[in-house]
Structure 1
């Protein structure tokens, strides 16, 4: 009887909420997929259930590759994303390590200021940043985004890594330095391997925001063949009040694949307490 009550409680309070949340979370992706596979004749047909796929076509995907510059958009997005992520992660590791491991006056205040910098909306920054981009002569080039994306990637990633570095026992680093390792060697060989879950979290965060960013990409690199996927999709597939829903959803599906792959391969590395017991024994 007790076991039956426990099972009923788990179903009501655990499995049902999880199932509802999963449906709510995955429904947008399901909707994009079925719209991208429907022929145009069924997209606005009210006599057909919109949740079912009665006919199948790849015409919208062929349209993307044959009538738009989608492969170029994908390449531009990948170059900018990997470049900005690498630059931001390098700076964030150094900044997070300094704020998380060193003890100096004003360190906590500086860490809070770094996080508050992330809260500044991009709509306030793109005008002064556009002047910087033009002055350096990198408008409509990859460097225009690779150097501007870190303005909102580094603050949050540094704050995240700062908190993670603080969870690693200082004794590990001190023992390595007593054995003759320098500060850089101790960070590279001892601290960074233990902080791998935090580093991967910061990397995935930076990758996702860079891949989906729209405003800076539109202003700094949104003309000609240098468009990214968000900018090219909006500019070329939405014309006045005409929305090409099939190609739009096909571009959304293809644009979501890299982010989904990144999460799929690295989600297992989100491990807490990786250093628990590291100094015991």
Structure 2
């Protein structure tokens, strides 16, 4: 009898712990999913349904409508802004990878004992507030004649991404054993060949981290995009959406939420698909 009682007690405790874990995860999942639910329901709500305080804000009190999406896609240049953002993002990612990956490898392998100190110095430049660099960048953009051009953003954004990504990639390259690289060189590969065919594939998590970090920065940056770009056709999403959908004290909430939903869902899916490698990239890059 005592053995049976102990067994059932242990089983009950185990099920209680499992239920507690599930409950915590459910609360956390609901907390994370609620903003997407709010954006989704607001996107399809009628304006009168949205502003009537007597209505239940979490449900449709009137039939759903597509008017908010019509305003977003037909009365603004939203698709053009998305294309501009993707273009700038692709260019900045390419520049960041071309500069940060070789620099990180050089600091990890070729710089000797001073590599870490130099990497820290490079990382410290990332901590400089962007507002301090505003005037120098403005003069450079003006001298190059890049005002109201997406190329101004392509020139400015790598100054934010390259220092941090160089430091991150240095830590990741240090996690790759030298023996593997030396074995590849003994098999006839040059140092560059060993780097390209051995080290880079083993550091794919770090490279993915760089790509996601850079794209996220490009999508969210507002100050420089607002300052250097004046034509609506050249806007990025972060500037075009609030500029056209917030008019004085009038907020087009349905269209705003629709715009946020369109750009945030792909990013959320991307993070979820590669979350393990993304976290590994930050962890390894920061610890090493």
TM-score by length of 1: 0.90
Does the alignment pair 1:51 with 2:58? yes
Show the counterpart of 2:45.
38
Post-superposition Cα deviations, 1:214-258, rounded to whole Å, max 9, x if no partner, equal 111111124331111110111111111111111111111112234
Residues in 1 aligned to 2:279 and 2:260: alpha-carbon distance in whole angstroms: 30
Residues in 2 aligned to 1:141 and 1:258: alpha-carbon distance in whole angstroms: 26
Residues in 1 aligned to 2:122 and 2:74: alpha-carbon distance in whole angstroms: 45
Show the counterpart of 1:16.
23
**1:139 aligns with one of 139, 147, 153:** 147
Which runs of 5 or more residues in structure 1 are unaligned?
274-281
Show the counterpart of 2:157.
149
| Equivalent position SS for 1:106 | helix
Show the counterpart of 2:98.
90
Shift in Å, 1:103: 4.3
Post-superposition Cα deviations, 1:80-116, rounded to whole Å, max 9, x if no partner, equal 1111111112211111111122342421111112222
| Equivalent position SS for 2:112 | coil
Show the counterpart of 1:159.
167
Shift in Å, 1:74: 1.1
| Equivalent position SS for 2:156 | coil
Q: Aligned-residue CA RMSD in angstroms?
A: 1.9
1:204–1:135 CA distance, 2 compared to 1 (3 A): same
1:89–1:249 CA distance, 2 compared to 1 (3 A): same
**When the two structures are aligned, how many residues end up with a matched partner?**
272
Which runs of 5 or more residues in structure 2 are unaligned?
1-8, 282-288
| Structure 1 residues 204-243: aligned runs within 5 Å | 204-243=212-251
| Equivalent position SS for 2:100 | helix
Show the counterpart of 2:73.
65
1:272–1:217 CA distance, 2 compared to 1 (3 A): closer
TM-score by length of 2: 0.88
- 8 Å Cα contact 1:85-1:210 kept in structure 2: no
- 8 Å Cα contact 1:222-1:228 kept in structure 2: no
- 8 Å Cα contact 1:217-1:231 kept in structure 2: yes
Structure with higher Rg: it is 2
Residues in 1 aligned to 2:224 and 2:209: alpha-carbon distance in whole angstroms: 23
> Which has a greater percent of helix?
2
